[in-house]
């Protein structure tokens, strides 16, 4: 932490928003778990004059059921809590599996879901899982609160739908449905950011697919999702041909970078294989439940 940074400890979301709105861009930063922000400060990539700690805001902590049976995951919920949440079952298990693959136990004990998605690293684990699960992100600002579908929240490289003076307050999920949610990532070493990742959420009823959500991470500026791929898998009953075509469509639409982890060509090459594997596992479970 910068020796010059002044630390605020608001007790409510409204107070945190006022402090954030009163600041001047990069000079005021929200401090959630600190897994990313503190590392950036130590590397002198950012040097905020004021920090707004969210640790004392009770509304931001924990996972609770909503009136309709859905789930609200507060922005300050730690990765380890999300990874251990039994209510994230069936099609919603994609989010639990993604949380369990984040970095290492130290980071999972410290990092929060709100801080992670607000930073919006394209290679992070939560973004594709949230898109696959058709989640929504709750945002608070000076004009009140609003909800943004995860598919619209991530907009570009490290950029989100957050407007100046706004903050993430929660992730909202529909009532968990019977089905399968899975998350897999390819990385050079355990705990590293993804070279490529695949998040799949399949809800079924009476042996038939009701909803399919498929998203790829690490292969473009935001999670890669195509309605056409989802429709193919749903109408094709998770069949091999549908999985192969869905993987080809996603690979063609990918816009990956070349970096120290992998080339752009390699990332495109592995997408179909990872998609086919995820779909095959879901198909096997669906057939076993018939």
Q: Identify the H or E element spanning 215.
A: strand 208-217
Provide, rounded to the nearest whole percent, the portion of the chain with pLDDT above 70.
98
Question: Smallest Cα–Cα separation from 129: which of 171, 158, 87?
Answer: 171
| Average pLDDT over every residue of 95-111 | 96
pLDDT of 1 strictly over 50: no
pLDDT at 218 over 80: yes
- pLDDT above 70 for 3: no
The tens digit of pLDDT for each residue in 242-290 reads 999 999 999 999 999 999 999 999 999 999 999 999 999 999 999 988 7
Instruction: Count Cα neighbours of 269 within 13 Å in the Cβ-side half-sphere.
Output: 5
174, 70 contact by CB (below 8 A): yes
Q: What is the pLDDT of residue 45?
A: 74
Model pLDDT for residues 181-210, shown as the tens digit of each residue:
999 999 999 889 999 999 999 999 988 899
Q: State residue 24's pLDDT score.
A: 64
Does the pLDDT of residue 2 top 80, yes or no? no
Q: What is the mean pLDDT of residues 140-157?
A: 97
Give the chain's domains with CATH numbers: 6-53 (3.30.43.10), 60-173 (3.30.465.10), 179-289 (3.30.390.50)
Q: Which of 188, 261, 251, 248 is nearest to 224 (CA)?
A: 251
Q: What is the mean pLDDT of the chain?
A: 94
Q: Which of 48, 45, 31, 273 is nearest to 167 (CA)?
A: 31
pLDDT in tens, 53-93: 999 999 999 999 999 999 999 999 999 999 999 999 999 99
Sheet holding 71-74, edge to edge: 63-65, 71-74, 167-173, 136-141, 144-149
CA pair distance 18, 30, nearest whole angstrom? 12
Q: How far apart are CA 202 and CA 280, in angstroms?
A: 12
For the cut 80, the answer to whether the pLDDT of residue 35 exceeds it is no
b/e sequence 257-279, b meaning 16+ C-beta within 10 Å: beeebbeeeebbebbbebbbbbb
pLDDT of the residue at 130: 98
Amino acid 6: pLDDT:
86
């Amino acid at each position: 932490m910068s020796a010059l940074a002044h630390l605020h400890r608001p007790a409510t979301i409204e107070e945190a928003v006022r402090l954030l709105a009163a600041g001047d861009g990069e000079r005021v930063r929200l401090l959630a778990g600190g897994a990313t922000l503190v590392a950036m400060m130590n590397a002198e990539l950012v040097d905020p004059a004021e920090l707004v700690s969210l640790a004392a805001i009770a509304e931001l902590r924990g996972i609770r059921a909503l009136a309709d049976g859905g789930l609200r995951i507060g922005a300050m919920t730690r990765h380890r809590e999300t990874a251990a949440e039994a209510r994230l079952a069936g099609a919603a298990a994609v989010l639990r599996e993604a949380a369990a693959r984040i970095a290492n136990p130290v980071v999972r004990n410290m990092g929060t879901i709100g801080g992670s998605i607000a930073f919006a690293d394209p290679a992070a684990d939560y973004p594709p899982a949230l898109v696959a699960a058709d989640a929504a992100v709750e945002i608070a600002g000076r004009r009140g609160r609003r909800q943004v579908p995860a598919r619209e929240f991530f907009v570009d490289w490290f950029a989100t739908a957050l407007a100046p003076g706004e903050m993430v307050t929660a992730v909202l999920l529909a009532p968990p449905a019977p089905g399968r949610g899975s998350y897999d990532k390819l990385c050079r070493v355990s705990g590293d950011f993804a070279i490529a990742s695949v998040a799949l959420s399949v809800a079924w009823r009476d042996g038939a697919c009701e909803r399919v959500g498929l998203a790829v991470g690490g292969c473009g500026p935001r999670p890669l999702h195509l309605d056409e791929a989802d429709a193919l898998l749903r109408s094709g009953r998770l069949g091999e041909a549908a999985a192969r075509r869905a993987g080809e469509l996603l690979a063609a639409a990918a816009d990956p970078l070349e970096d120290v982890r992998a080339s752009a060509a390699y990332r495109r090459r592995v997408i179909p294989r990872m998609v086919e594997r995820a779909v095959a596992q879901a198909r096997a479970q669906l057939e076993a439940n018939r």
